[in-house]
Amino acid sequence: MTLEEIKSLDKKYYMNTFGDRTPICFTEGKGIELTATDGKVYKDFFAGIAVNCLGYGHERLTRELCDQVSKLIHISNIYYGESQAKLAQSIIENSCADRVFFCNSGAEANEGAIKLAKKYFTMKGENKRIEFITLKSSFHGRTLATVAATGQEKYQKPYKPLLEKFIHIDINDIDALKNAVSDKTAAIMVELIQGESGVHPLDREYVDTIVDICKKNDIVLIVDEIQTGIGRCGELFAHQLYGIEPDIFTMAKGLGGGVPVGGFAAKQKFADAFVPGDHGTTFGGNPLAMRAGCVVLDELLNNGVIENAKTVGKYFEDKLNSLADSSGKIAEVRGAGLMLGVEFKEEIAKEMGSKMRDKGYLVGVIGTKIFRIVPPLIITKDDVDGFIDALNSVLEQA
């Protein structure tokens, strides 16, 4: 089909939640490159919003998924699953958590984490612990509880009154944090680097204060690692970069290398709050998604992919900072590993994004001033050099 034919079907039948999409339809990918219906090839520095960590057409992931599809795609969680057990082992042996639960998406993972924190206090008989503290400009998902958790009015407004009691405080403001905490606080939930609103890292002192407050008051610390996790920031999880141990953390995006999968992991004391029947899923933890997760974790941990995210990420950040100095058009470069944000001085992000696309480079554009750069974790320094040359040349025309 041509792009025009696909577009007209979409406009007629699909709910209008995505508005006017970027007028491209991809048909296949290899490495970090995507090919569109018109044959044009793009280098992808957005990775399906920080998802396709091994790039496209990854030889081993493709082979193992084809093998899995030919054997078994889905089976109920009333039975045991080999890949599910192995992926659980891999997550737990490489993190501070003791137990994990697998679901299908990031929002579902956060819902599960919120339920677990609530159940923890129900079990303890502390029924007034009903408040959750989250941060302004955060993004935690699109279900009702995660929309309530998300500290952005635009996502909440159409759905008020919201179900849960979430208090949203300014990022990196220690006084606001201290003022928000009370004997009603059940949990504090944060992204360590806010992705969706523009790649905003939390200060280390602020994070240490959160950890301290949670410990002293038996408040559950939930870290949303849906975007920052699975090697994205140069460690398996971003909380490892910060040197902290959350009580519960969530994951999704990169975990399946493109196959939908999410999960939440908890320390034993919190995991124990769930007893049989408290939580469940039909599709979560299915053999296909779990096989994908096993390949991704093995490639990340044992085949140098996390190391690559760390070294190429640092190289990328340095190059962007040099470009900031030479062009005079970039206000700030932020982030860690291969989760990088570029904030321009002027409102040129949309124009720059579309000019980069014309040059065959895909990036995420946030608002009017920010690029979100979250490429596959397999990119090379040469790929970065190509991106920097392209950005340099579009900035020269700005």
Q: Using CB under 6 A, which of 196, 235, 247, 299 touches ligand PLP?
A: 196
d(CA 37, CA 166): 44
Strand pairing category for 370-373 and 339-344? antiparallel
150 vs 384, which CB is nearer to ligand PLP? 150
d(CA 147, CA 284): 21
323 vs 370, which CB is nearer to ligand PLP? 370
225 vs 383, which CB is nearer to ligand PLP? 225
- Exposure pattern of 216-238 as b/e (b: 16+ CB <10 Å)? eeebbbbbbbbbbbbbbbbbbbb
Site string for ligand PLP, 140-169 (x = CB under 6 A): xx----------------------------
232 vs 357, which CB is nearer to ligand PLP? 232
Q: Using CB under 6 A, which of 195, 231, 313, 335 touches ligand PLP?
A: 195
Per CB under 6 A, the segment of 57-65, 224-232, 349-357, 361-369 that binds ligand PLP is 224-232
Residue type, 41: V
CA dihedral 148, 193, 387, 328 (to 10 degrees): 100
95 vs 105, which CB is nearer to ligand PLP? 105
140 vs 334, which CB is nearer to ligand PLP? 140
Number of residues that bind ligand PLP (CB under 6 A): 15
Q: Is 102 helix (H, G, I), strand (E, B) or coil?
A: strand
Q: Is 11 helix (H, G, I), strand (E, B) or coil?
A: helix
Site for ligand PLP in 245-284 (CB under 6 A): 252
d(CA 87, CA 75): 16
Q: Is 227 in the site for ligand PLP (CB under 6 A)?
A: yes
Site for ligand PLP in 104-143 (CB under 6 A): 105-107, 110, 139-141
Residue 3: its H or E element: helix 3-13
Residue numbers of the site for ligand PLP (CB under 6 A)?
49, 105-107, 110, 139-141, 191, 195-196, 224, 226-227, 252
